[in-house]
Amino acid sequence: MKIDGTHYRSLWWNSDKHVLEIIDQRWLPHDFRVVPVATMQDFADAIYQMRVRGAPLIGATAAYGMARAMAQDASDANMDAAWAFLEKTRPTAINLRWALDRCRAALRPLPQSARAEAALALAHDIAEEDVEINRRIGENGLALIREIAARKPEGTPVRVLTHCNAGWLATVDWGTATSPMYHAHDAGLPLHIWVDETRPRNQGALTAWELGGHGVPHTYITDNAGGHLMQHGLVDLVITGTDRTTRRGDVCNKIGTYLKALAAHDNGVPFYVALPSPTIDWTVSDGVAEIPIEDRDTSEVTHVQGTTAAGAIDTVRVTPDGTAGGNPAFDVTPNRLVTGLITERGVCAASEDGLAGLFPDFAKAAQ
């Protein structure tokens, strides 16, 4: 998507320097910095420190990490070591393991001399596929937004609430939850987006930055405001992303998503999840029982980053010195609270039948 009129992706391959470049998201929305990711340690740090973040982008980055490893040493032992080194960076988003598994399965049968080139080509493919998947999610979500718009008085905006950043910064391009918004805006449908702040890392500020860059009207709200807005009839639809969706349609996403789903359920507001197929974990069924929830550093809760009046990026403590923080980074929304899943192949029920109906090939392969 565009920044000040120039099209960017969240990562790209610099073929002159033969290196991956990323937008370092730790500084957004305050500063726009592009950094290279060169060594294996750089790749692990970029993912763990959330220089890149969002399930699909983590997967694409990991694929480039495998390519880097193969360029250094294309042996089976190094392939397995790279897989393990990158896989442990973040536990919840399944796209990480999906990309690493896909790379290993494709590269293992090749002679070592062919692996470096093949790994880089595969990383490019994974990145391109992500863009196309998200574009299609946008088209399928646009149809939903159109239906809602058609039931509203002409010219009144469809009010969509979103949580975290499931935007283009969280993918290679388009975003998942934001793709229907960008498509609807570009189609001329009036929209207004309620953007949850999403403490502790304030990914909502990334969403606000993106939406602003594309001209989509939005308001940044506290995480606790969504239920109140829904009670007062101010939300037509919720669309969030997902970091891992089970085969029966339980959705694991950024902490606080579950509370939004409960509030939506109580107020009869449709709650949709934008789901690219690599985010489906066909090996698990019960999300609450089976999905590992990342527990991050508590300094993310006790401290907050922002820009000072003098324009410097700074971090301040918000708690009394010595107060303990707790930082579970994701939660699970059971399928009964999810109105539907917006995938690249269409919209389906959040159920085993719904997912298997759209993805019979993947469901069968996982059996």
Distances (CA, A) of 319 to 301, 324, 325, 339: 9, 9, 9, 38
- Distance between CA 220 and CA 197 in Å, rounded? 6
* Comparison of 171 and 246: residue with beta carbon closer to ligand MRU: 171
337 with 261: CB under 8 angstroms? yes
* Comparison of 90 and 115: residue with beta carbon closer to ligand MRU: 90
Q: How far is the CB of 4 from ligand MRU (least distance, A)?
A: 23
Q: Minimal CA–CA distance to 229: which of 159, 177, 152?
A: 159
Contacts with ligand MRU by CB under 6 A lie at 53-56, 93, 164, 166, 170-171, 175-176, 203, 241-243, 253-254, 329
Residues near 300 by Cβ (< 8 Å), separated by ≥ 6?
A: 200, 201, 325, 327
Q: How far is the CB of 311 from ligand MRU (least distance, A)?
A: 25
Left if phi > 0, otherwise alpha if psi is -120 to 50, otherwise beta: which for 196? beta
* Comparison of 149 and 273: residue with beta carbon closer to ligand MRU: 273
Q: Which letter does DSSP use for residue 8 in this model?
A: -
CB atoms within 10 A of CB 290: 15
Q: How far is the CB of 6 from ligand MRU (least distance, A)?
A: 22
- Distance between CA 71 and CA 82 in Å, rounded? 12
Q: Which letter does DSSP use for residue 328 in this model?
A: B
* Comparison of 89 and 149: residue with beta carbon closer to ligand MRU: 89
DSSP secondary structure, 292-316, as one string: PPPB--THHHHEEEEE-TTS-EEEE
Q: How far is the CB of 245 from ligand MRU (least distance, A)?
A: 10
> Considering 24, 243, 250, 331, which one is annotated as catalytic?
243
Q: How far is the CB of 257 from ligand MRU (least distance, A)?
A: 8
* Comparison of 54 and 138: residue with beta carbon closer to ligand MRU: 54
β-sheet bridge partners, residue 12? 21
266 is an active site residue: no
* Comparison of 235 and 239: residue with beta carbon closer to ligand MRU: 239
From the number of C-beta atoms within 10 Å of its C-beta (0-12, 13-18, 19+), residue 97 rates as buried
CB closest to ligand MRU, residue no: 241
Q: How far is the CB of 87 from ligand MRU (least distance, A)?
A: 15
- Hey, which residues are catalytic here? 243
